[in-house]
Every structure is written in C-alpha cells, then in structure tokens.
Amino acid sequence: MQDNNKSMTFVYGSDDFLVDRRARVIFNSLCNGQGEIFTFDESSDLSRGIGNAISFLDTLSLFPENQTVWLRSAYFLGESSLSTDQKDLILSLFESVKSAHDKKVIISTAKVDRRTKIFKDLTQSATVESIDIGSDAGSNTIEQFANDNGMDIDPDAVQLLQLKCGNNARLWEQEINKLSVYAFGRKVIGRDDVLSLTDDYDTGNFFEPIEKFFENDLEETFKSIDRYFFHNTDARALLSALQSRNRTLIQLRTLADLGYLKVMGHNFSKNDFIRASKIFHMESFSKTTFSVFSQNTWYLSKLLPLVLRYKLSKLLCFQELFTSAFGEITQHYQDQRSIIKGLAIKCYAAHE
C-alpha cells in the first residue's frame, strides 16, 4: 500500500464499543448511513465475508450512496490462527481496498496485531484514529457522553463513575444517559448523583454505605444500611468492602505518621508516594487493597480527610470489629442487618 490512499480511514483500539461508535460516526458523516456495511463475525464464514467485500469493492459504483464502504469489526487483523488461504484472501481484500479509488473505505476493529505488514501498511496509507480508553482518554469520553446529552459533569463525578464501572465504555454511556435525565434541571452531573444512582459494576465496593460509615454520621449510616439490605440479603460483601477501605486508610495513616507521606491540605506529594513505594519494594504490584501503592492516586487523595480524621489506633480497632462481625454473621445469619447496625455503633463508640 504505497499510494497513500487517504480515502481510507482506519479506526482501531482496545474497546470494541468505542471503536464501533467512532467508526459509525465517520460512516454516517460520509454517506448519511446509506453506504454499504460488511460486518465480520468470528462465528461466521470469514472467507465468504471477505469474498463478498472484495466483489463489492471491485465493482464500479453507479450510485453515489454506494461509494462508502465500512469493513466493520475486522477482527482478522488481530487473528493469528488463520489458514494460508485466509491470509491470502485478506491480502487480496486490501489490494481491492487500495485500488477502490471510487469509494471511501472505513476499516474498524478492536483486534490488531501491530507486528503484521498489513497493520503497518494501514497506518501509513490511511487516515488513522486510535481509540484509547486510558485514564485521560476515558475521562474525555465520559465528558463527551454527558455533552451529547446536553449536560456537563464534575471531574469528581467522572472519576467516581470510572471507579464504579471500570473501563467499560458501554456502561459509561448507559449510566450517563440515566444520570442526565436525573440531573437535567441542574445541567451538571455531580458526584452525589453518581453515588446515588450508579451501581458498583467493577470494583465490588458499595460506595454509599461505606461513604456514610466513614463520615461518622450514625443516622445516615443506618439509612444507607437499610437501603443496602433492600437490594441485598448478605452482608459479607459489604463487610469485605469496609475492610478494604479501612485497609487502605491504615496504610495511608501509617505512611503519614512515619513521615513517608506529607499530607498537604487535601493532597499529598506524589514524589513522596513514589519514593515510599520504592523503599518498600511495592511499586510494581498489580491493583489490590493490600498495597496502597497500587491504588489510583486520585482515589487516595479523596481519602485524605478520613486519614486526618482517624488515628491509627481507631482504624486498627475498626478492622478488629469488622473481623468479629464476620464471625457473628456466620452464627446469626438471619440477623445480618442488626449485626451491621450494631457494628456501626461499636465503631463510633470505639476508643481513639
């Protein structure tokens, strides 16, 4: 592919939903949705699908609406277990793409093998859009979803939504659509909106009862516990989440008390944090609440008011009471709501 055919657009990335969404926007902008789409499904006959696409690309278009072609979900660009015949057919497909000067071609896929000659040729010969779902790109995508609904969204709400949904762009859009209706009169989606309406799809945490518990407000904690048990019957997941949050607080408080971490207002020195991770040889840990150094630094910064509020002795007391509550639940399974409310009372009454 040496002729630099910029009538071709190549859209790829790690998230199939975002790749497909962006490619559809490009397709509609070129032909108002009236062009030809060839969708490649791993469960269908690849050779037949490619053959149909080649036949269309090699045929002269008589109508303007047939001058845009979308090769959708071209998973074979990242497939390593193809037969020799299939590989030859794919090369023929891209020869047809290269020579189809009467057509605008869009190729989209969430599966690519960057080592292949075809991938390298595509990136050189086409207009390329790489869809990233990393932290900054994910934040921008969520903000765009909100803007598409005529709304703005607070940065804290963006971060919380990512924590709750993980890197699932389909869920981001679904939740933003729901939140936009809920917050429409205010025109801004806030953190409390996400906390109230968005389930915990990715982290396994239960944000509302945990947030209320560590705010040291017994009445609000009881209300959130009642709401939790309206949807759930087992408290063990909630207790596990409380322990996870408390484990992180214990580590942060210990680092602060020992002077490894300097807390400045509602933030801390990132350089100190990195230096401490190297001192304790924990900078390469995968994400786990057993290593504070593996956690999202934005998330940790939001915990700093709690770190300053609770002394280490009280946090250690909390952890002991959480463990005892697990034992109570196994013995009195039918009284879980009462046990969790009793746990809150014991924690608030605990000595410093």
Structure confidence at residue 1 (pLDDT): 38
The reply to whether 151 falls in a domain is yes
Q: Does 45 share its domain with 170?
A: no
Distance of alpha carbon 274 from the chain centroid = 24
The reply to whether 202 falls in a domain is no
User: 265 in the Ramachandran plot: left (φ > 0), alpha (ψ -120 to 50) or beta?
Assistant: left
Task: Tell me the average pLDDT of the chain.
Answer: 84
Give residue for tokens 């207009």. Answer: 127
Structure confidence at residue 351 (pLDDT): 58
Structure confidence at residue 2 (pLDDT): 37
Q: Does 124 share its domain with 226?
A: no
Q: Does 212 share its domain with 344?
A: yes
- Of the three residues 131, 148, 178, the one that is the final residue of a domain is 131
* CATH number of the domain to which 154 belongs: 1.10.8.60
Q: Does 15 share its domain with 97?
A: yes
Structure confidence at residue 10 (pLDDT): 94
Residue from 248, 236, 257, 267 nearest 343 by CA? 236
**In DSSP terms, which residues pair with 10 in a beta bridge?**
107, 128
Structure confidence at residue 316 (pLDDT): 93
Q: Does 242 share its domain with 288?
A: yes
**In DSSP terms, which residues pair with 106 in a beta bridge?**
9, 70
Q: Does 184 share its domain with 56?
A: no
In our burial notation (b when 16+ CB lie closer than 10 A, e otherwise), range 134-145 reads: eeebbbebbbeb
Beta-carbon count within 10 A of 249 CB: 24
Q: Does 117 share its domain with 225?
A: no
**How much helix, strand and coil, in percent to the nearest 5, is found in the chain?**
60, 10, 30
Structure confidence at residue 132 (pLDDT): 75
Structure confidence at residue 161 (pLDDT): 87
What parts of the chain have a pLDDT lower than 70?
Answer: 1-6, 62-66, 134-136, 200-206, 265, 282-289, 351-352
The reply to whether 25 falls in a domain is yes
The reply to whether 31 falls in a domain is yes
The reply to whether 3 falls in a domain is no
Question: What pTM was estimated for this model as a whole?
Answer: 0.56
Q: Does 171 share its domain with 106?
A: no
The reply to whether 258 falls in a domain is yes
| Token pair recorded at residue 269 | 């020195």
- Of the three residues 112, 131, 150, the one that is the final residue of a domain is 131
The reply to whether 2 falls in a domain is no
The reply to whether 70 falls in a domain is yes
**In DSSP terms, which residues pair with 9 in a beta bridge?**
106, 127
- Range of the structural domain that residue 29 is part of: 8-131
- The number of distinct structural domains making up the chain is 3
Structure confidence at residue 5 (pLDDT): 47
**In DSSP terms, which residues pair with 288 in a beta bridge?**
291
Q: Which ranges of 115-189 does DSSP label H, i.e. alpha helix? A: 117-125, 135-148, 155-165, 169-182
Structure confidence at residue 284 (pLDDT): 52
Q: Does 120 share its domain with 87?
A: yes
The one-letter amino acid code at 166 reads G
* Three-state secondary structure call for residue 186: coil
